[in-house]
Structure 1
Amino acid sequence: MIVTGKSPDDQIRATVTGNLTLEIIFQRHTYEWYDESGLTRQLAGLGKNTWVAWERERREIVRRALSLTSEEAEQDRRNRGDARHQRFQDGLHTLQCRGVSPSAILRISTTGMIDWRVDIEPGVLREFGERDFVEEATAAFADLMRDRERKLILLKAEHFDLGIPRAWRERLR
């Protein structure tokens, strides 16, 4: 699976592969025109747009694998309304995750993977060239995905019997 998203200003493109590897590409000669505030907004929008594309593609793959029409898949999604599944979905929508770049110049935080916040330390864009900044951003995304995976396992264990003892889950929180 490969999906691509664009920043709100259309100047930055992100491609995410099935193993959650991220590639970020700035349009030619645009990186140097951003300030930290503007780039923060663009990267947050890029994260949200790319994640929405990821979820749509994932749902489409599942739909095709189950040989469902779009209408059948939507009906199936609505019918999964048992209380345990609904509590899990509610938890998924409020799951808070964080990622930090290796140099701690960039932080990403999400709520439910729909509300994205990106923080860039002041002065970073003058210190880091485009390639170095992209490396920091992709590393922060990888850290975010590791945090999400850990929290997702705990959330699933909370609502479905995964065989993980409660004491272990509490220690991991």
Structure 2
Amino acid sequence: ENSAKWEDIVCNDGAKEKISEVLLYPEYISAVLDGENVNLSCLPAPCRTVLVHGPPGNGKTMLVKSAARAMRAPIYCVTSADFLSQWLGESEKAIRNMFQTLKQTNRCILFIDEVDAIFSVRAGRCGTKSREADCERRVKTEFLVCLQDLLDSPGFDGFFFAATNLPSELDTAFL
């Protein structure tokens, strides 16, 4: 459980301000246009995904948990261990089940710490056979498809946060 308050968090490089903008954009637009007959499709879509990165121990997890607390939204903290399985097809099933639960929650934050454990860059290079196992590809694909489906769901008002110490090691499909 995170006891840190959003007001108590101090970040470098405006990270806190950027996260505030992401979290508050939908509410801001709603307040500004309250009662106005405006076609919202002409406005930029709100950002729903945030990658938090930095060296170990700099407060990435605390920052995300404090953001969830400030917006009074449940946070689902998961790691690769929560859905990876040695049995064929079980990882994909666990991912689908997780996202089905999140769809029913409506306003929440999904947070994956150490996201590089799942979405590390692919090992194969131009003309060589990739060392990445087929099961890893299926898990990545299933996760990304389910995430996009969740974020595109009508009425879903949540966010996806991921944290890593190694942003340069992430697969470009994830970014």
- TM-score (normalizing by structure 2): 0.29
Bigger share in helix: 1
Q: Which has the higher contact order (CA 8 A, sep 6+)?
A: 2
Bigger share in strand: 1
- TM-score (normalizing by structure 1): 0.30
